[in-house]
């Protein structure tokens, strides 16, 4: 009985020793794999950020009457041929950038459009698969019959963000150029002493800013200040949303540009003339072809 018990005890000791050895072996392997002296596992490299292409081969332009060339050629008529973006009658952006502007550019802007219309225009644009999309929109959101009717900043932001998402979802590599909303108060200050401008503005051109253009009482002053403030808020939204998109450039030079009488339509002293359209093309071309985005 004692010999049998001894054999059992020795067998148990040998088994325990084997288990300890195996455990040490496994632990040692894990340590070699995960310890401080082991080589770290390689991490996948991040995708490179796409670079801005200063020479896109196609473009689609979105916006309102400015991009449609309204009143640039004849009274109360669109004139896409004179558009700063896609026109063939002026030295437009398309003519400067594209080898074939007639077949590689599309104008989806609509006279009277506001920011609420941009998502629909963007859906039209993505069907063309352009390498560059331009947006100049927002004046009609501020040019309302009354100040209270101006588009709210929150609604303006929501529609612009939705439009950018629409573009990015369909065309993640397409570039976006966004022009600032023109300075409506500067337009008033330059035209308020012009007899023709004062007369034509009475027909209802941007009434929130230009109505009673000679009035300088507290009510008129507050009304114009409210419009000026809202335009500034719109531009802040455009700049902010654009800054968060790696392939978007916001052009504040458009909002700060002071159009001269020669650069405004002789029929309404509000929309750009052909000369003014060329100036808009100059500003856009400068921003789009710059090696770095504007500060």
pLDDT in tens, 253-262: 999 999 999 9
Residue 41 has pLDDT above 60, yes or no: no
Q: Read off the tokens for 9.
A: 């005890």
For the sheet with 132-136, list strands across it.
105-107, 59-63, 132-136, 175-179, 248-251
How far apart are the C-alpha atoms of 183 and 281, rounded to whole Å?
17
- The answer to whether 178 touches 250, Cβ cutoff 8 Å, is yes
From 2-6, 167-171, 285-289, the region with the lowest mean pLDDT? 2-6
Q: Per-residue pLDDT averaged across 179-199, rounded?
A: 94
Residue 17 binned pLDDT confidence (cut-offs 50, 70, 90)? very low
How far apart are the C-alpha atoms of 217 and 201, rounded to whole Å?
18
Give the start-to-end residue ranges of the domains of the chain.
1-34, 59-288
CATH fold of the domain at 59-288:
Rossmann fold (3.40.50)
Ranked by mean pLDDT, which of 15-19, 30-34, 225-229 comes out on top? 225-229
Q: Per-residue pLDDT averaged across 67-75, rounded?
A: 98
pLDDT at 295: 81
Q: Strand, helix or coil at 272?
A: strand
The HSE-up count of residue 24 (CA atoms within 13 Å, CB side) is 6
Task: Give the predicted TM-score (pTM) of the model.
Answer: 0.83
More confident residue, 148 or 45: 148
Residue 4 binned pLDDT confidence (cut-offs 50, 70, 90)? very low
Q: Which residues pair with 105 in a beta bridge?
A: 59
Give the number of residues written for the chain: 295
Q: What is the DSSP string of 114-159?
A: -GGGHHHHHHHHHHH--SEEEEE--HHHH--SSGGGSPPHHHHHHH
pLDDT at 196: 92
pLDDT at 152: 98
Residue 12 has pLDDT above 60, yes or no: no
Residue 269 has pLDDT above 50, yes or no: yes
Q: Per-residue pLDDT averaged across 230-237, rounded?
A: 98
How far apart are the C-alpha atoms of 83 and 60, rounded to whole Å?
12
From 2-6, 96-100, 148-152, 269-273, the region with the lowest mean pLDDT? 2-6
From 33-42, 120-129, 263-272, the region with the lowest mean pLDDT? 33-42
């Amino acid at each position: 009985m004692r010999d049998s018990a001894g054999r059992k005890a020795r067998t148990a000791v040998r088994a325990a020793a084997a288990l300890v050895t195996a455990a040490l072996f496994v632990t040692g392997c894990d340590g070699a794999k995960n310890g401080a002296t082991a080589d770290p596992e390689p991490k996948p490299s991040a995708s490179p950020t796409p670079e801005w292409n200063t020479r896109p081969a196609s473009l689609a332009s979105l916006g309102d009457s400015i991009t449609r060339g309204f009143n640039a050629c004849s009274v109360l008529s669109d004139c896409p041929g004179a558009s700063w973006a896609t026109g063939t009658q002026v030295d437009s952006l398309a003519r400067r950038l594209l080898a074939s502007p007639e077949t590689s550019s599309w104008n989806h802007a609509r006279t009277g459009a506001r920011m609420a219309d941009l998502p629909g225009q963007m859906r039209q644009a993505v069907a063309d698969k352009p390498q560059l999309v331009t947006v100049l929109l927002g004046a009609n959101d501020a040019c309302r019959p009354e100040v209270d009717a101006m588009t709210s900043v929150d609604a303006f932001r929501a529609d612009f963000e939705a439009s950018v998402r629409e573009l990015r979802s369909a065309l993640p590599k397409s570039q976006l150029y966004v022009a600032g909303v023109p300075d409506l108060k500067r337009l008033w200050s330059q035209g308020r002493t012009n007899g023709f401008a004062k007369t034509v503005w009475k027909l209802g051109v941007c009434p929130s800013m230009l109505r009673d253009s000679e009035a300088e009482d507290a009510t008129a002053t507050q009304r114009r200040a409210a419009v000026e403030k809202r335009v500034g808020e719109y531009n802040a939204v455009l700049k902010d949303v654009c800054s968060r998109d790696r392939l978007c450039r916001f052009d504040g030079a458009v909002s700060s540009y002071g159009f001269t009488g020669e650069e405004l339509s002789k029929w309404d002293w509000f929309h750009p003339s052909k000369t003014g359209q060329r100036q808009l093309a100059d500003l856009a071309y400068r921003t789009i072809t710059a090696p770095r985005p504007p500060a």
